């Protein structure tokens, strides 16, 4: 039986079901809540996450991939506590986002890769929870020396373990292209890579290129209207489906249950569509209206995520 590691241990790949490939349970500034514990109500956050995941389960979603890294305040005990109170599987990531601590620039590629490999093969900290995906990121600053270090470490950890890479990009700057170039240089099979935040772009040439070179693209910020309005996101996705690219796209929101950047009230006021339920409630109906078929929706929500997450064992079997 092919299994995929989650916050509660291995789950049969056939059980993953409809999957959101880029979400977060909690994002926060590492160190802040540890030093000023009055800034957060841990039990309250677990209860809030439990409620939000129950709503998502009620809408048919069975798995989320939590791409929270160390520099986004990954808290594996918190994720596991939420998973224990949820019926939605939570796949956990290793890796580093684009605000890495000094550690990552003062240690070499292989030393950083060894940390990622440890999270994947032995588990995160003492939790026993194994990461099943590697996150790395390029933002407006591009590939700085520390980001180059991390992209290469991610590539080497991918090759050593077989788990996929999922990235954060600044789509307007076409930063997915340089990520692919670095991964290819490091010998990564680009079909094992999800180039994230691609749904922020309406540049069809850029998007087709990422997919033609073998990667999956993340149409994964539904609800973040400031990067690209919903109607345009739907239009681009429907167009690429019509062109036959449904096999190379996955869906998500990049939303969270709780973040230290924005209160729940601020989220509702400034980003009213940015929540876990937006895809099931609004986007799937809009895609159907735009001519996307049920089979293509199942491809993007079920078959593509499963193929990306389970390929590791197929490769080693
Ligand atoms: Zn994210």
pLDDT digits over 136-159, tens only?
Answer: 999 999 999 999 999 999 999 999
Beta bridge partners of 251: 219
Query: What percent of the chain has a predicted confidence (pLDDT) above 70?
Result: 98
pLDDT at 311: 86
Q: Ligand 1 center to residue 317 CA distance, Å?
A: 31
Please answer whether residues 67 and 23 qualify as being in contact, where contact means their C-beta atoms are separated by less than 8 angstroms: yes
Q: Which residues surround ligand 1, an ion (CB under 5 A)?
A: 254
> Does residue 314 carry a pLDDT above 80?
no
For the segment 32-49, the average pLDDT, to the nearest whole number, is 95
Q: Could you give the CA distance from residue 26 to residue 212 in angstroms, rounded to a whole number?
A: 34
For the segment 264-284, the average pLDDT, to the nearest whole number, is 96
pLDDT at 28: 96
pLDDT at 316: 46
Q: Ligand 1 center to residue 239 CA distance, Å?
A: 24
pLDDT at 313: 54
Measure the CA angle with vertex 152, ends 99 and 159; round to 5°: 125
pLDDT at 84: 98
Q: Ligand 1 center to residue 166 CA distance, Å?
A: 10
Token pair 């980001």 is at which residue? 147
Tokens standing for residue 9: 């241990």
Q: pTM above the 0.75 mark? A: yes
């Amino acid at each position: 039986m092919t299994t995929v590691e989650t916050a509660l241990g291995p789950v049969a790949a056939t059980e993953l079901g409809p999957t959101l490939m880029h979400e977060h349970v909690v994002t926060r500034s590492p160190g802040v809540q540890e030093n000023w514990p009055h800034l957060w109500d841990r039990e309250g956050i677990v209860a809030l996450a439990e409620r939000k995941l129950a709503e998502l389960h009620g809408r048919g979603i069975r798995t989320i991939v939590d791409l929270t890294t160390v520099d986004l305040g990954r808290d594996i005990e918190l994720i596991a506590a939420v998973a224990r109170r949820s019926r939605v599987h939570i796949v956990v990531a290793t890796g580093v986002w684009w605000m890495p601590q000094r550690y990552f620039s003062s240690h070499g590629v292989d030393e950083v890769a060894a940390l990622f490999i440890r999270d994947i093969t032995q588990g995160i900290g003492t939790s026993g929870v194994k990461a099943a995906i590697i996150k790395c990121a390029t933002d407006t600053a591009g590939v700085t020396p520390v980001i180059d270090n991390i992209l290469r470490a991610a590539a080497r950890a991918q090759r050593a373990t077989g788990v996929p890479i999922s990235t954060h990009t600044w789509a307007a700057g076409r930063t997915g292209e340089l990520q692919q170039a670095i991964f290819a240089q490091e010998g990564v099979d680009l079909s094992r890579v999800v180039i994230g935040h691609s749904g922020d772009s309406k540049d069809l040439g850029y998007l087709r290129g990422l997919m033609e070179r073998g990667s999956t693209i993340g149409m994964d910020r539904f609800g973040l209207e400031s990067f690209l309005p919903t109607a345009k996101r739907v239009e681009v996705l429907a167009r690429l489906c019509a062109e036959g690219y449904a096999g190379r796209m996955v869906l998500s929101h990049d939303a969270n249950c709780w973040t230290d950047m924005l209160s729940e009230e601020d989220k509702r006021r400034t980003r009213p569509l940015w929540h876990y339920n937006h895809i099931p409630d609004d986007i799937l109906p809009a895609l159907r209206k735009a001519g996307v078929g049920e089979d293509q929706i199942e491809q993007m929500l079920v078959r593509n995520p499963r193929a990306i997450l389970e390929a590791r064992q197929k490769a080693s079997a």
